[in-house]
């Protein structure tokens, strides 16, 4: 399974864009990149996913490099409620559609 590497923690000022990086240099050609976030003591929440192309939805944008070895999740206007742990996950394909969670990035949005 492709592993992901994320910074342990990041800070962002409220109202500014939060850019969360993720390295997945061993990703296979047919594996997707997923992003989830988890607010303290709650279940994880799906944010966005992509395969090759950049993606955007109402929550965030996902930028995947051309070689697919890294990606960046962008929260365009971070709010205090975006403070959470953000997980970058590469989909396991050999056993259904399980998700393998790493340590994630703890994003702290500050006033």
Partner 1 sequence: DGGITQSPKYLFRKEGQNVTLSCEQNLNHDAMYWYRQDPGQGLRLIYYSQIVNDFQKGDIAEGYSVSREKKESFPLTVTSAQKNPTAFYLCASSTGGRSDEQYFGPGTRLTVT
46 beta partners:
36
Q: Is 94 in the site for partner 1 (CB under 8 A)?
A: no
Q: Between 1 and 14, name the residue whose CB sits nearer to partner 1.
A: 1
| Cross-strand pairs, 72 | 21, 63
103 counts as binding partner 1 under rule CB under 8 A? yes
How many CB atoms sit inside 10 A of residue 73's CB? 25
**Which range binds partner 1 by CB under 8 A, 17-25, 53-61, 72-80, 101-109?**
101-109
CA distance linking residue 64 with residue 101, whole number of Å = 19
User: Which of 91, 105, 107, 109 is the binder for partner 1 (CB under 8 A)?
Assistant: 91
Stretch that binds partner 1, among 13-21, 60-68, 75-83, 87-95 (CB under 8 A): 87-95
Q: Taking CB under 8 A as the rule, does residue 95 contact partner 1?
A: yes
Give percent helix, percent strand, percent coil of the chain, each to the nearest 5: 5, 45, 50
Q: Does 41 bind partner 1 (CB under 8 A)?
A: yes
In this chain, which stretch among 19-27, 64-72, 76-84, 93-101 interacts with partner 1, using CB under 8 A?
Answer: 93-101
Residue 72 to residue 108: CA distance in whole angstroms: 17
> In terms of Cα–Cα distance, which of 75, 57, 95 is closest to 49?
57
Q: Can you give the binding site for partner 1, defined by CB under 8 A?
A: 32, 34, 41-46, 49, 51, 87, 91, 95-104
């Amino acid at each position: 399974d492709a592993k992901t590497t994320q910074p342990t923690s990041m800070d962002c000022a409220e109202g500014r864009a939060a850019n969360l990086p993720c390295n997945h240099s061993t990703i296979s050609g047919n594996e997707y990149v997923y992003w989830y976030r988890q607010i303290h003591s709650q279940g994880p929440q799906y944010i966005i996913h992509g395969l090759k192309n950049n993606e955007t939805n109402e929550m965030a944008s996902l930028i995947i490099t051309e070689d697919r070895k890294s990606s960046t999740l962008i929260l365009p206007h971070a709010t205090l409620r975006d403070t959470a742990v953000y997980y970058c996950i590469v989909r396991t394909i050999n056993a259904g559609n399980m998700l393998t969670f790493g340590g994630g990035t703890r994003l702290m949005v500050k006033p």
